[in-house]
Structure formats: C-alpha cells, structure tokens
Amino acid sequence: MNALALSVGTPFFPCRNSRINKRTFDHVVTGRFDPSLMVTGYAGLDAVHDVFAALRPAAGTIDHVKILVRNELPVGTGIIPTS
C-alpha cells in the first residue's frame, strides 16, 4: 500500500467523510487532479524538524502546503522550494 492510498481513509488514517476522500482519490488515479501541484518543497531527512516548523508558521504567513521528505537528498540541503 502506498502513501496515497493510506491518506484516503484506512484503519491507520480514518477519515470523517470517506465518500469525499474516495472521490478525490479517484480524481488522482484517473489523472483529473495532479497532486504534485500541492508540493511546495522537498527536504532531506536531516531537515524534518524544519519541515514541521515550515508547515506550522507562527506569524500567519504560509509558504508551504506539502513538503516531501526525500532520503536521497544530501545532508544540509534544508528545504528546497519547487519553484
């Protein structure tokens, strides 16, 4: 099972409205929605603390929506914006 399937609603990640989540998942599977558009950055394993800090901004400004943690990125890379 991949991460996308887990996010739709499983015993590990229960959801309140599985019908909406199933529809979203169907849109991803059929190509109607490209989830990569939500990815705003990449980070290595050493930057996980920075990722959580960036996704919970204190000042109310939001710079990131989804940051993918990639184990192949070199140490010290930090968060790399997608654009």
Give the model confidence (pLDDT) of 32-73 as tens digits: 988 888 899 999 999 999 999 888 877 777 888 889 999 999
> Which amino acid, residue 35?
P
Q: Give the pLDDT confidence score for residue 76 in this predicted structure.
A: 93
Residue 9 reports pLDDT greater than 60: no
Distance CA 35, CA 78 (A): 22
Q: Give the pLDDT confidence score for residue 20 in this predicted structure.
A: 65
Residue 11 reports pLDDT greater than 70: no
Stated length of the chain: 83
13 near 6, Cβ under 8 Å?
Answer: yes
Distance CA 12, CA 15 (A): 10
Burial status of residue 44 (CB atoms within 10 A of its CB: 0-12, 13-18, 19 or more): buried
Task: Specify the DSSP element, H or E, that contains 68.
Answer: strand 66-69
Q: Give the pLDDT confidence score for residue 16 in this predicted structure.
A: 62
pTM: 0.61
